[in-house]
Structure 1
Amino acid sequence: MTTNITRRALIGGGLGIAATSLLAGCSTVTRSTDVKAINKAVALPDYVPWQGGPAPVLPKTSALMPSAFRSIPDRLVPTRGRPGDGSIVRGSVPTNSPVPPSKGNNPYWQGLDEHMGVDLRLTITPNADFPNKFATQVAGDTLGDVFTINQGFSYLPQFLEAKAADLSPHLSGAGVRDYPYLANLPTASWRGTVFSGGIYGVPVPRGPLTSQVLHLRQDRFDRLGVDPGFGSLDEFLQLCRRVSDPHANRWALASVPTSILAPMLGVPNQWREDGGSLTHMYETEEYRELLDVSRRLIAEDLVHPDSITAYNGKVWLVQGSALMLSDTYSAIPGILGQATPGSGFELGLAPFVGPGGAKPKPWLGDPNNTIAAVAAGDDRRVRMLLDVLDWCASPFGTEAWTYRKFGIEGRDFEYRDGAPVLTTVGNSETALGEFPLQYFTECPLPLYYAGRPGMTDTVYRSLASWLDDGLPNPTYGLYSPTNSTKGPTVGTFATNAINDVLLGRAPVASWRDTVREWRRRGGDAVRREFEEALEARAS
């Protein structure tokens, strides 16, 4: 968790009243101000990498490197039985894709029931509406058996203790070995599921693919005769000036690429930890320099003019009105899916550079997209639901993974040159290959891009260039009560001040006053709680 204003942080403000009402009178929950109790450690699940599938085509240069594949194996690993007991399993999930047809009109979804051995009934909500929907479900106690959690909302540990199953007895240590696909999830991802000395969810892992990279339109750069490479901040700025042409409806950048610029200047990933003491990035001289560079990008008309008020970066990249886009590696399939076949669209990835010629240390993204909780219930029911989640985590190369992503051959997808390609029907029924069952849990994301084997190599080379030097957020997996309750408001205050600087309404020099006010409004309290949480986890 961070004090940045994010979609997850905004969710926290909307759930405070609902969560407080729900928890009223619960005597079993940890007090919200007991930082050490909330951050108490637990024995994490053993990490047992799955060995039953195809061998990656490229070597693992780092323990963090995802497995790389250029094609689907000819022989898929059969799924071992059906995990369910035939009962109804209700769940609540968000989606970034169009909401798929309901089960009665969706043979793919009906096939999921058959594969899983349950009657799967999902409440699917577009991400933009998910905060309000989730709040309503929390208040009405209608989240279901498995539900996606947005980790920024207020009183999360207390809510989980009151309403979710503590999975520690089933998953801690060697217990997870009863669920071999869940055991395949990395240890770092499980750290995000720990609250109050228990495991209160399963990860929705993304690994290093949550990290930001600068996507670029290689075909458009080639057409302009411009090499998109750069080796310093100055060279990057020169590149942006060279390709921007507002009169031709073309800008270098979809938005200010904060997560790309920050490592160029040596800005810490949210917090800098030194001997248990924390300094927020806002408090550093490097962050003021970042603001100045960002302001200049906008002032020189190098950034799409709607980037702050009506952002739609992926569309702009695909249309060609923006030639570079800062987004996660995990966004690549969605970007490729929006490109018109036969248009010549070619996606490239920009290099990473460090400050003043030093070795680059890009920000390492958090290991999870989110987590999913299992409703409290009797042991037998919880174990069955964990079997279902184990199926949901079946990895690349299994029948289950292939069905989840592509559906029914001949209806939802067809093989073209050996690669599964979704049909128009399949795009609808599988939600563009991202059916929101993926927000229960899924396997560690592989490097695989259907029909685009070269993209695997492109992403692999990019990750290999920096992965072991990536800079993690030292507060990942820690919980600050103040950040939970005041984070959204404090984040909005900081974001408004940042935008004032970027749009020229306030000078960069005003940032020092902003930081003093940020500290007073809650920043110092969040720091103290995270430092206390670091101490609790270390012990």
Structure 2
Amino acid sequence: MTPNAAASSGPSGPSRRSFLASTAVATAAVAGGMPLLAACGGSESGSREGTTSGKDAKKLLPAFVASNVVTPDLPSKNGSPLGFTSKLDLADLKTSVPKKLGKGGKVTIMSPFWGSPPKGNNPYYQGMNSLIGVDVVWQNQDGNTYDQKLGAVLASSDIPDVVVVPSWNMSGRIPTALINKFADLGPYLSGDAVKEYPNLAAIPTDAWQRCIIGGKLRALPQPSPPITGIVPLYRKDIFDKEGYEVPRSTDEFMALAKEITNAKARRWACLDMKWTAFQMFSVFSGSEKPLWWNHQDGKMVCRVETEEYLEALEWARKLFAAGVVHPDSMMGKNAPDPGPKFAAGEFLIYPNNITQWWSRTAEQATQNPEFKIWGMDVYNHDGGDPTVWAEQPAGIFAYVNKSASESVIRDVLAAANVTAAPYGTKEYMMTNYGVEGTHYTVKDGVPVKTDAGNNQVMNAYVMLASPAATLAHPDFPDVAKAQVEWYQRMGSFTKKSSFYGQMITEPTRYTNLGNDFEQLEDDITRGRKKISDMQQAVSTWKRQGGDKLRDWYQKLLDENGSAAS
């Protein structure tokens, strides 16, 4: 699985908890029934009714109106997050919701929660509800077992007003339940209707695209960058000291790795570089099952049957065979936290979620002031420009109960209009940091949470809706700037595959069809299996349903078109 990956389906999904990892705005990153493109009761082949692309989708999507409340230091470019590098000035915070839109009603929200949920009457919840004008009551559930709770609740008649559903929990009968049991938000949000909620209108259109299910706009999204968030991170301080140059091809990487490695001195070049290999060889994304597929050269192709996929595995295998990979990586995905040994210099390069660029910087700032982690650009394996395949532009969604009254729906939207406020506003600070003095203080322009803040201001209101993806680290502005610029550069090489931006669940008979590939990948890179074993596995996959699944995706594309542009 991807380092910190959200989805079980493959290599480059954002972390399901990465949006909690830093002062960045909440961002996050599916498989599984009937295609969610199809109307309820439709066949597994999908139907024209409920298409999520072309003219039909345009009628359903909210109008996009960029926010002008706050001007980012680094505007979005090539799909990158917005960037803020200035110190925080509480006196200069803007107001994005000048008038309470909530009408004082009660709204119950069920959401995944990682950690120990705070008491329901805590000062953070009270402050947020006062700001919104709605009595939000949270039904927090263990995020690690959320799929089980979700299935049970959706099968019952006692469904909360709002249910948060991460895309990685979208399996089994859950997609059908979403179509049957949750409201059409189109009358409130489609087209110009969304302008009543300016912060929702500023959410990127691609994120809303993912909210169209069963031919209706049924959810509120948490936007995320469509650009891969898996970065080859490296020890820039040691590189600078030793005169190492960042490699621009697989050959240069191998040569550098051999130069760095000295097993007797307990220094290796890297951890498992499979995720970077997939990027350098332009392998289709594996973070979500529909992204495995792309229509090219007149046919539907799956990532596992491409030459690029095999070449990437072979190169990753050669790194292990050369002895340049830290021994911990032989343990595969059960390897320990890379942080301590990376900080100790036992290895100098590892691919992981971009959030670690900031979190590793922050954790080493006082104890290891010379430490500097940075991100490498990804090049094509031959040193040319890469082709980087886009990730989905949203991964967590809030659905409103179909039985909710109009007043409840409008209270939900009022709350979401606050939680989607942009960085640099009073609403953003309340949503993400709580009450000044109680939950956080500001020192030298940097917000610091108190114990109460760490205990109470956690994955609650941010789960309802979020603003456009944003990076802001007032404690380390150079990191925020570098992260956004990395996204901008990689975004210029990012290409959208056929099913980008669409919410699709594979027929249940195919749900587990590709589950064994990940383990086989790791066995091959570690020398326990051969490339020929993968070729045989792909042949078996085709015979057992892969070719029929190809036909299914082709028919889906023929009937519904592509949302990629």
**Which TM-score applies when normalising by structure 1?**
0.86
2:441, 2:157 → 1: CA distance? 42
Of the three residues 84, 99, 102, the one matched with 2:116 is 99
1:57 aligned partner, one-letter code? D
How much does 1:162 deviate? 0.9
Q: 2:92 matched to 1:75?
A: yes
Distance of aligned partners of 1:156 and 1:361 in 2 relative to their CA distance in 1, 3 Å threshold: same
Instruction: Look up the match of 1:40.
Output: 51
Report the more deviating stretch, 506-515 or 267-276.
267-276
- Percentage identity across aligned positions? 24
Of the three residues 139, 145, 152, the one matched with 1:136 is 152
SS of corresponding position for 1:296: helix
Instruction: Look up the match of 1:402.
Output: 429
Say what the alpha-carbon RMSD is for the aligned residues.
Answer: 3.0
2:103, 2:263 → 1: CA distance? 60
SS of corresponding position for 2:273: coil
CA contact (8 A) 1:419 1:451 kept: yes
Instruction: Look up the match of 1:369.
Output: 395
2:40, 2:93 → 1: CA distance? 45
Distance of aligned partners of 1:136 and 1:205 in 2 relative to their CA distance in 1, 3 Å threshold: same
1:213, 1:162 → 2: CA distance? 39
Task: Note the alpha carbon deviations across 1:85-106, whole angstroms, 9 max, x for none.
Answer: 333322222245x3342234x4
Report the more deviating stretch, 190-199 or 82-91.
82-91
SS of corresponding position for 1:91: strand
SS of corresponding position for 1:94: strand
Distance of aligned partners of 1:413 and 1:325 in 2 relative to their CA distance in 1, 3 Å threshold: farther
Q: 2:110 matched to 1:66?
A: no
**Which TM-score applies when normalising by structure 2?**
0.82
1:400, 1:128 → 2: CA distance? 29
How much does 1:185 deviate? 0.8
Instruction: Look up the match of 2:529.
Output: 506
2:104, 2:262 → 1: CA distance? 60
How much does 1:443 deviate? 0.5
Q: 2:174 matched to 1:162?
A: no
Report the more deviating stretch, 34-43 or 44-53.
34-43
SS of corresponding position for 2:304: helix
Higher helix content, 1 or 2: 1
CA contact (8 A) 2:446 2:475 kept: yes
Distance of aligned partners of 1:132 and 1:256 in 2 relative to their CA distance in 1, 3 Å threshold: farther
How much does 1:518 deviate? 1.6
CA contact (8 A) 1:490 1:518 kept: yes
Distance of aligned partners of 1:383 and 1:341 in 2 relative to their CA distance in 1, 3 Å threshold: same
Q: 2:515 matched to 1:492?
A: yes
Counterparts of 1:339-378 in structure 2 under 5 Å?
Answer: 339=364, 341-344=366-369, 345-376=371-402, 377-378=404-405
Instruction: Look up the match of 1:385.
Output: 412
How much does 1:271 deviate? 2.9
1:134, 1:247 → 2: CA distance? 51
Instruction: Look up the match of 1:25.
Output: none
2:513 aligned partner, one-letter code? V
Number of aligned positions between the proteins? 515
How much does 1:333 deviate? 4.7
1:312, 1:368 → 2: CA distance? 29
1:324, 1:437 → 2: CA distance? 36
Counterparts of 1:209-224 in structure 2 under 5 Å?
Answer: 211-222=229-240
CA contact (8 A) 1:37 1:197 kept: no
1:289 aligned partner, one-letter code? E
Instruction: Look up the match of 1:230.
Output: 247
2:554 aligned partner, one-letter code? E
1:32, 1:338 → 2: CA distance? 52
Distance of aligned partners of 1:379 and 1:447 in 2 relative to their CA distance in 1, 3 Å threshold: same
2:193 aligned partner, one-letter code? G
Counterparts of 1:425-444 in structure 2 under 5 Å?
Answer: 425-431=452-458, 435-444=459-468
2:550, 2:8 → 1: CA distance? 10
SS of corresponding position for 1:181: helix
CA contact (8 A) 2:389 2:494 kept: yes
CA contact (8 A) 1:228 1:350 kept: no
CA contact (8 A) 1:364 1:470 kept: yes
1:415, 1:200 → 2: CA distance? 38
Distance of aligned partners of 1:181 and 1:422 in 2 relative to their CA distance in 1, 3 Å threshold: same
Distance of aligned partners of 1:283 and 1:121 in 2 relative to their CA distance in 1, 3 Å threshold: same
Unaligned runs of 5+ in 1: 20-27
Instruction: Look up the match of 2:4.
Output: none
How much does 1:49 deviate? 0.5
Instruction: Look up the match of 1:149.
Output: 165
Unaligned runs of 5+ in 2: 1-6, 17-29, 286-291
CA contact (8 A) 1:192 1:476 kept: no
Of the three residues 400, 420, 441, the one matched with 2:447 is 420
SS of corresponding position for 2:82: coil
Instruction: Look up the match of 1:462.
Output: 486
1:214, 1:346 → 2: CA distance? 14
1:487, 1:439 → 2: CA distance? 30
Of the three residues 259, 281, 284, the one matched with 2:303 is 281
Instruction: Look up the match of 1:293.
Output: 315
Instruction: Look up the match of 2:126.
Output: 110
CA contact (8 A) 2:165 2:399 kept: yes
1:136, 1:336 → 2: CA distance? 41
Task: Note the alpha carbon deviations across 1:49-92, whole angstroms, 9 max, x for none.
Answer: 01122x222355x3523322112354111232334333332222
CA contact (8 A) 2:386 2:493 kept: yes
CA contact (8 A) 1:209 1:330 kept: no
